[in-house]
């Protein structure tokens, strides 16, 4: 199995963190043994993002305890682990992280956990290279790979299969339950994907241009036939400059785009300014790098209700929001 270090080495050279932070990591990972000596009845799985939380909880059902480090509205590109996160990681029976540098500032913590013998898994490690998109285009041999693979039904299904088999290794007695739950989720992913492709046909062909805060929707664009333009690149680490904003305004006006979109995990200020300058409306808020809040629901295929804190719920919300905004003729 590929280690976190080998996956990161393909893309970047790890940078050093402050000495105090490294010492804090070492303290957490060496001093958290279970004093009672009792073995937990269920394995503890720590996941980094809300997307992975939904994935692991759906597969495991009631056969595992799942702790999620990042909540709704959190940008994983910028997220730094807290002392509480380090404590959670140190107690895990398995850590599931996304990979492809999505959690760009958690590398040291994940590496430290691996060094201490805590099993880790990059959920994206089983995606075929042919499914991936890079910041240089579909040829992923150049540039950083776009990590937003949950917007591809095929790529997310590959992640589902990778995580399922790792959970089976962790808890063989629950293999049948895990695989049955995964099969149900696989069918749900396919069902929502088919529904999305039908709905996108409501947008006129020349209006299928999706302008968002950052370049997180290219997999969705590839699946649904949308031309996707983000103010920022595939990571929110680097802010857009004035030239980027001016070029985007010019594009919106020249293409007569009726609406642009903000994202729940990205500051909406820049996009609101661009909307004013372009004289277009904000078509709504999309969920890009994090799922929606618990308790809210949306209606999808067959009028079935889905929680916004699930993959299916946020996909349905995003597609519905895009279709409703871009189907309207510009004023």
pLDDT at 328: 75
pLDDT at 136: 57
Structure-block tokens of residue 183: 């099969």
> DSSP secondary-structure letter at 289?
S
pLDDT (tens digit, 9 = 90+) per residue, 35-84? 445 555 899 999 999 999 999 999 999 999 999 999 998 999 999 999 99
Domain 4-193 has CATH 3.40.50.1980: yes
Please check whether residue 118 is in contact with residue 32, taking contact to mean a CB–CB distance below 8 angstroms: no
Residue environment code for 214-232, b if the CB has 16+ CB neighbours within 10 A, otherwise e? bbbbbbbbebbebebbbbb
pLDDT at 139: 45
The DSSP bridge partners found for residue 121 are 96
Residue 310: exposed, middle, or buried by beta-carbon count in 10 A (0-12, 13-18, 19+)?
Answer: buried
Which is nearest to 149 in space by CA: 87, 99, 207?
A: 99
pLDDT < 70 positions in the chain: 1-40, 136-143, 233-243, 329-331
Task: Tell me whether domains 4-193 and 202-326 share a fold.
Answer: yes
CA dihedral 231, 325, 73, 222 (to 10 degrees): -60
pLDDT at 143: 55
pLDDT at 13: 41
Instruction: Pick one of 3.40.50.300, 3.40.50.1980, 2.60.40.1930, 3.65.10.10 as the CATH number of 202-326.
Output: 3.40.50.1980
pLDDT at 267: 84
Residue 116 to residue 136: CA distance in whole angstroms: 36
pLDDT at 22: 44
Residue environment code for 93-115, b if the CB has 16+ CB neighbours within 10 A, otherwise e? bbbbbbbbbbbbbbbbbbbbbbe
Please check whether residue 147 is in contact with residue 99, taking contact to mean a CB–CB distance below 8 angstroms: yes
pLDDT at 235: 52
pLDDT at 231: 85
- Distance in angstroms between the alpha carbons of the first and the last residue of the chain: 55
User: Hey, where are the domains in the chain?
Assistant: 4-193, 202-326
pLDDT at 15: 44
């Amino acid at each position: 199995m590929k280690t976190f270090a080998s996956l990161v080495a393909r893309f970047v050279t790890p940078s050093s963190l402050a000495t105090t932070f490294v010492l804090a990591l070492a303290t957490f990972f060496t001093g958290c043994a279970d004093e009672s000596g009792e073995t937990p009845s269920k394995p503890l799985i720590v996941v980094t993002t809300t997307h992975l939380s939904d994935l692991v909880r759906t597969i495991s059902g009631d056969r595992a305890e799942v702790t999620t480090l990042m909540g709704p509205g959190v940008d994983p590109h910028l997220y730094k682990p807290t002392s509480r996160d380090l404590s959670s990681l140190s107690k895990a029976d398995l850590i599931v992280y996304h990979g492809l540098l999505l959690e760009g500032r958690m590398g040291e913590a994940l590496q430290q956990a691996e060094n201490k013998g805590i099993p880790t898994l990059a959920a994206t490690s089983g995606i075929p290279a042919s499914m991936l998109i890079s910041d240089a285009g579909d040829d992923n041999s150049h540039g950083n790979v776009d990590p937003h693979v949950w917007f591809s039904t095929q790529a997310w299904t590959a992640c589902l299969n990778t995580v399922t088999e790792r959970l089976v290794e962790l808890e063989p007695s629950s293999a049948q339950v895990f695989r049955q739950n995964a099969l149900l989720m696989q069918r749900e992913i396919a069902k929502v994907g088919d529904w999305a492709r039908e709905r996108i046909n409501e947008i006129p062909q020349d209006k299928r241009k999706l302008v968002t805060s950052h370049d997180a929707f290219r997999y969705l664009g590839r699946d649904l036939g949308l031309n996707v333009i983000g103010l920022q690149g595939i990571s929110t680490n680097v802010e857009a400059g004035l030239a980027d904003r001016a070029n985007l305004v010019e594009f919106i006006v020249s293409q007569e785009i009726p609406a642009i979109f903000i994202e729940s995990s990205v500051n909406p200020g820049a996009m609101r300014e661009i909307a004013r300058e372009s004289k277009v409306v904000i078509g709504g808020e999309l969920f890009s790098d994090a799922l929606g809040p618990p308790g809210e629901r949306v209606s999808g295929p067959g009028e079935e209700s889905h929680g916004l804190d699930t993959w299916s719920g946020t996909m349905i919300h995003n597609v519905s929001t895009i279709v409703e905004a871009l189907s309207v003729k510009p004023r």
